[in-house]
Amino acid sequence: MTLTQRYRFIYKPLVFIACLAPLAWLASGAFGWFGVSLGPDPVKELEHECGKTALNLLLLTLAVTPVRELTSQPQLLRLRRMLGLFVFFYVVLHFTIYLVLDLELNFATLGADIAKRPYITIGFTALLLLIPLAVTSTNRMMRRLGRRWQTLHRLVYVIAVLGVWHFYWQVKRDVREPLLYAGILAVLLGYRVVRALARRRAAASRAVRLTPAPPAGVTSTPRSGPTLSQSASD
Amino acid sequence: MITRVPRIAPSEITPPEVYFSRRALLAGALATGASALLPAAEAPQAQGAALTYTANPQYSVKDTPNKYEEIAGYNNFYEFGTDKDEPSRNAHTLKTRPWSVTVSGEAEVRGTFDLDDLLKGLALEERVYRFRCVEAWSMVVPWVGFPLSSLLARFKPTSRAKYVGFTTLYDPRQMPGQRVAVLNWPYVEGLRIDEAMHPLTLMVVGLYGRVLPNQDGAPLRLIVPWKYGFKGIKSIVKIDFTSVQPRTAWNVAAPNEYGFYANVNPQVDHPRWSQATERRIGAPFLAARRPTLPFNGYAEQVASLYQGMDLRRYF
């Protein structure tokens, strides 16, 4: 079995099923299957668990790059698009549950909440920002957008910050859990900052070393390696 | 409008030594012993010893009460954890007997009293009250208790007693949530004295006819039905009559979000969420959200307490 085949027939289906597990559990609770109960307030449980699953998967998506670099497993990138699309899926579900089951389709309240409640404003902003990323997640859009694709998809950093902030702001008092998310996010974003600085330094020192004309036939390495997202060729 | 509680003349009050006498008859306030425990099969929900009480329809709402497992399984009682299901899982570590209550401050009768002595002679009644949490959910609860006024009168508060403060037990061994400084422990709540003496203000010892479950604030908790739930302090060990407003736990934690008065008010939002509507726990999907009523529907009885006050300022 080639690597591509292993991903297509084993790893990707496994990740797909794993990403659906939270939904299966919540659906069981909502409909009372298999004796699963969501407790006395199932609406809040559904709402919060969908939101938290989205955040979990978002952090996982952001962990792909550090993990593949640190473990020299570049092929892990093949799983990232699916993770990202599941983030979008759970965010949409989270919002739908909030609008339909929690607000009971009261659009006036929805408008007031988005306008007046900062934590809802930023959560809704994150949802809107996810839409272009989901829409441009296809191979065709990747090709069509070229270099701009990566620039656009850097929005995910903003979305992640907004998402964790949204979680932090709606907690009444005990902020330990949102702070844990914020800490993990800080590590994941910090890794990228450190890496970018290191690359810049490396490029600068190379540039210094290479100032004398290089011997014929020796070309300097490209300033940046193959970009991460564009090498996603699955 | 229900008239205010008449001022009780000192001469009308039975001397505390009679009330607090261990020789006084139990008067059926607390039925104890194994005979009171029904087999689990007969009472699959409510546990704990059965209480002797009379229903008080005058002070009960007509709404269908929430199920026992909702009231005893969905609690904000941070002393046992900040998740709603943690108190019911963790509160078994609380020892509710023996239990003593210390009375201090601006009252003639002060000291530390055994709870069972304090409860002697107090007739228990069942009142079905609406319960509105500051988090915009609500329930309907059949509490068993007695008017706070009948207990406070025994301590003969002086004219300097403008407020009454209450304190929850502080014991991190029994209350593991107190090991984390989520709030400034111990929990403190308080009322203006006229609020405390209002006939709707209830001291609760039971739920669904039985001894209150620990997670709901056993053995003694406060219920002020026209205020947000956090005013209803649980597992009370201290009652303090003061001339100054008590520094209450949530107000200290976030003064811009939780006021001292905390009257249910659909007009005054929490800074982070609306208080205009609430979701009734246990109601069917898509039929749970309902408008929040001023003073939680008790405006007729209590609005006069706040006449002339700016309720946006004194939220």
Interface of B to A at Cβ within 8 Å reads: 66-67, 69-70, 73-74, 78, 82, 84-85, 135, 137, 180, 182-183, 253-254, 269, 272-274, 276-277, 279, 281-282, 285-289
Q: What is the pLDDT of residues B179-216, one digit of tens each?
A: 999 999 999 999 999 999 999 999 999 999 999 999 99
The answer on pLDDT for B30 being more than 60 is: no
User: Which of A41, A117, A176, A179 would best serve as a mutation to test chain B binding (most B beta carbons within 10 A)?
Assistant: A41
Q: Share the mean pLDDT of chain A.
A: 90
Q: Containing H/E element for B205?
A: strand B202-207
- Nearest neighbour of B74 by CB, restricted to A39, A116, A176: A39
The answer on pLDDT for B176 being more than 70 is: yes
From the list B168, B188, B166, the residue with the least C-alpha distance to B240 is B166
Q: Containing H/E element for B239?
A: strand B236-242
Prediction ipTM score: 0.81
- For residue B293, give how far its alpha carbon lies from the nearest alpha carbon of chain A (Å): 17
**Are the beta carbons of B85 and A119 separated by less than 8 Å?**
no
Q: What is the pLDDT of residues A41-78, one digit of tens each?
A: 999 999 999 999 999 999 999 999 999 999 999 999 99
For residue A227, name the pLDDT band (cuts at 50, 70, 90).
very low
CA distance A66 to B186: 44
Q: What is the pLDDT of residues B209-236, one digit of tens each?
A: 999 999 999 999 999 999 999 999 999 9
CA distance A149 to A136: 8
From the list A127, A37, A135, the residue with the least C-alpha distance to A87 is A127
Task: Determine the residue type at B304.
Answer: S
- For residue B271, give how far its alpha carbon lies from the nearest alpha carbon of chain A (Å): 8
Is the CB of residue B228 less than 8 Å from the CB of residue B134?
Answer: yes
Query: The pTM is what?
Result: 0.83
Q: What is the pLDDT of residue A221?
A: 47
Q: What is the pLDDT of residues A120-145, one digit of tens each?
A: 999 999 999 999 999 999 999 999 99
- For residue B144, give how far its alpha carbon lies from the nearest alpha carbon of chain A (Å): 22
Residues of B in contact with A117 (CB under 8 A): 272-274
For residue A208, name the pLDDT band (cuts at 50, 70, 90).
confident
Residues of A in contact with B277 (CB under 8 A): 106, 109
Residues of A in contact with B253 (CB under 8 A): 173
CA distance B98 to B104: 20
The answer on pLDDT for B128 being more than 90 is: yes
Percent of chain B with pLDDT over 70: 86
For residue A213, name the pLDDT band (cuts at 50, 70, 90).
low
CA distance A161 to A178: 11
- For residue A55, give how far its alpha carbon lies from the nearest alpha carbon of chain B (Å): 19
CA angle, residues A181, B85, A127, in degrees to nearest 5? 40
- Nearest neighbour of B282 by CB, restricted to A40, A112, A172: A40
Q: What is the pLDDT of residues B136-154, one digit of tens each?
A: 999 999 999 999 999 999 9
The answer on pLDDT for A189 being more than 70 is: yes
CA distance A64 to A173: 32
Q: What is the pLDDT of residue A32?
A: 87
For residue A214, name the pLDDT band (cuts at 50, 70, 90).
low
Residues of A in contact with B135 (CB under 8 A): 172
